[in-house]
Structure 1
Amino acid sequence: MEYLLLAVIALCAGILGSLVGLGGGVILIPATLYFGINLNFFPDITPQRVVGLSVIMMIFIGLSSTISYMRSKQVDFVSGLIFFIGSAPGAVLGAWLNKGLNIDSFNLYFGILLIVLSAILFVRDKLKPIHWFLEHGLKRSFTDRQGQTFEYGYPIWFAFVFSFFVGMISGLFGIGGGSLMVPAMVMLFRFPPHVAVATSMFMVFLTSIVNSLSHIYLGNVPWHYTVPVIIGAYVGAKLGSALNKRLKSKTVVLVLQIVMVLIGVRSIIEGLV
């Protein structure tokens, strides 16, 4: 029963994570902790082990999504590699910092993070891109299927610094770095939204490999739970990337924001109480 439940959780995480470029950890982690600790479905789960499970899952969400987005030529591989170079050492640092969190501290900080991410998602469509980053950095362009060309860009030094911070958050909490990278890519660097999501998932794939190696070394991966999570996440990511090409994701993002706020408030209360 617990393996089927994990597969369903991972399926939902894969769909939402791939659809809006978040990576899926914001769904898997609170759901697994709730069913594992509160309902005792997974009695051996801890914050460290659920983060280890999440980063393994995100390898396959990132891989599945990247393959799908490659076919529609939405992935900016150059930018993804630049962001990865910055995020990889941050992920290692975050994994090391994670070992010092108990369940109360993890719930408190994770809840605060979810509310911050929800606020970022809420304002990302309302803020205008900052032209300074395009004018003072590496310039890129993308032409969509309708023949419209978009120009975007960023200073490489800033990309390294920002992605290091994103990688650290990813390693610490086991969430995909896309939850921070996608809004930054759209608002700061003027990425077209679909390119931002696709490139984010490529970066999530690469960073999750480094992230998972760190958590494997620290003994944080519950291997007996990985198979149902991998299968559910891979299938979910395929469905999410397919929906991304067909649907306007504003409604999905709104639902996700509400869920993140509710989970975040609950996590903060649990952490404090």
Structure 2
Amino acid sequence: MVFSVAQIEAAVWIPPVTAFVISFFTSMGGVSGAFLLLPFQVSVLGYTSPSVSATNQLFNIVAIPSGVWRYWKEGRMVWPLTWIVIFGTLPGVLIGAVVRVAWLPDPRHFKLFAAGVLLYIGGRLAWDLVKNRKRAAKEAAGPVGGGGAVRVVRFDVRRLEYSFQGEVFGAPFWGIFTLSFIVGIVGGIYGIGGGSIIAPFFVTFFRLPVYTIAGAALMGTFVTSVAGVAFYQAMAPFYPNISVAPDWMLGLLFGVGGMAGMYLGARCQRFVPADAIKWMLAVVMLFTAAQYVAGFLGF
């Protein structure tokens, strides 16, 4: 099948199957899978124009609702955290979209930027796991059983706190908001909505349990991706010589596979140890970053 906007040709089953496999695993960590679909599109399918970022965000719009619904049904959606993420990342992702089109249209420069983002996040997550083995072992003691629902204890302009499995977790309101804004800019450039890469930050910086932040991160990604796709589409007429608007057919095919993968991933998450989910995210990020660096250097 020929995808005219992306200017590539691929079998019709490749996008949904790829998205299903990636999303099944990444959704357990609150990541939609878009950060891995992008290198797949760039390096495997040969889709390198700025519109690949918009296509990635279109995938998020179609795929994410099934995962969020599953986390909500199991009582593990921290809604105050979700709203802070949305209001923080939304302006950032629009700024990031402008940066991507205006200053990073060259695929080699974009790959180097993406490698830097993934290398930092993956390295930080891996270092945190190695440095805190005792805490990780405690989290890995078993799957989420009874009492797995989240209950908000405090939510104001100073702090957010909630209880989960007999423990209280919290973070400063403005700390979450500021981090969300910065991550939103990076996510807008990379084409993953912002909420996706904020999940590892919540785990490493604020020590929030991965079982409770996954739904909030995915919902934040969904809302900012809607804005991102609309913004890329609106910018397209101003850049007639560059492919800016998303490839709708390719994005929808990725989204259908991602929808099934995210639902099953969210359903299975509570049976997987927290440290296993974190290691999976860290290893995949570092491996992808290494590939980008190697490609930039010409290896």
TM-score, structure 2 as length reference: 0.78
| 1:142 and 2:151 are equivalent in the alignment | no
| 1:107 and 2:111 are equivalent in the alignment | yes
**Unpaired runs of at least 5, structure 1:** 38-44, 129-133
| 1:20 and 2:38 are equivalent in the alignment | no
Q: How many pairs does the alignment contain?
A: 256
Match of 1:232 in 2: 257
Given residue 214 of structure 2, which amino acid in structure 1 is its aligned partner? V
Partners of 2:194 and 2:26 in 1: CA distance: 11
Given residue 264 of structure 1, which amino acid in structure 2 is its aligned partner? A
2:97–2:188 contact (8 Å) kept in structure 1: yes
Partners of 1:271 and 1:63 in 2: CA distance: 35
Partners of 1:160 and 1:255 in 2: CA distance: 26
Which residue among 222, 226, 229 is the counterpart of 1:212? 229
Greater CA deviation, 173-182 or 50-59?
173-182
Give the direction of change, closer, same or farther, for the CA distance of 1:72–1:98 in structure 2 (3 Å limit).
same
1:108–1:272 contact (8 Å) kept in structure 2: no
| 1:33 and 2:42 are equivalent in the alignment | yes
Which residue among 67, 70, 75 is the counterpart of 1:68? 70
2:85–2:195 contact (8 Å) kept in structure 1: no
* 1:156-196 CA-partner distances (Å, limit 9, x unpaired): 33322211111111110012534542233234434332111
Partners of 1:225 and 1:24 in 2: CA distance: 15
Given residue 184 of structure 1, which amino acid in structure 2 is its aligned partner? F
TM-score, structure 1 as length reference: 0.85
Partners of 2:270 and 2:179 in 1: CA distance: 28
Match of 1:86 in 2: 88
The CA RMSD measured in Å over matched residues stands at 2.3
Give the direction of change, closer, same or farther, for the CA distance of 1:19–1:143 in structure 2 (3 Å limit).
closer
Q: Secondary structure at the match of 2:50?
A: helix
1:18–1:61 contact (8 Å) kept in structure 2: no
Partners of 1:24 and 1:229 in 2: CA distance: 10
Match of 1:40 in 2: none
2:86–2:220 contact (8 Å) kept in structure 1: yes
Compute the displacement of 1:256 (Å): 4.2
* 1:110-144 CA-partner distances (Å, limit 9, x unpaired): 1222222211221334458xxxxx9x931321243
Given residue 94 of structure 2, which amino acid in structure 1 is its aligned partner? V
Compute the displacement of 1:96 (Å): 0.8
Please show how residues 159-178 of structure 1 align to structure 2 within 5 Å.
159-178=176-195
Match of 2:146 in 1: none
Q: Secondary structure at the match of 1:140?
A: strand
Compute the displacement of 1:257 (Å): 3.0
Match of 2:201 in 1: 184
Given residue 9 of structure 1, which amino acid in structure 2 is its aligned partner? T
Q: Percent identity?
A: 21
Given residue 2 of structure 1, which amino acid in structure 2 is its aligned partner? A
1:13–1:236 contact (8 Å) kept in structure 2: yes
Given residue 31 of structure 1, which amino acid in structure 2 is its aligned partner? F
1:80–1:199 contact (8 Å) kept in structure 2: yes
Partners of 1:89 and 1:218 in 2: CA distance: 16
Give the direction of change, closer, same or farther, for the CA distance of 1:79–1:50 in structure 2 (3 Å limit).
same
Q: Secondary structure at the match of 2:75?
A: coil
| 1:260 and 2:285 are equivalent in the alignment | yes
Partners of 2:247 and 2:260 in 1: CA distance: 21
Compute the displacement of 1:245 (Å): 1.7
Match of 1:131 in 2: none
Compute the displacement of 1:227 (Å): 2.3
Match of 1:152 in 2: 170
Compute the displacement of 1:17 (Å): 2.6
Please show how residues 33-52 of structure 1 align to structure 2 within 5 Å.
33-37=42-46, 45-52=47-54
Partners of 1:185 and 1:62 in 2: CA distance: 19
Match of 1:122 in 2: 126
Partners of 2:17 and 2:273 in 1: CA distance: 24
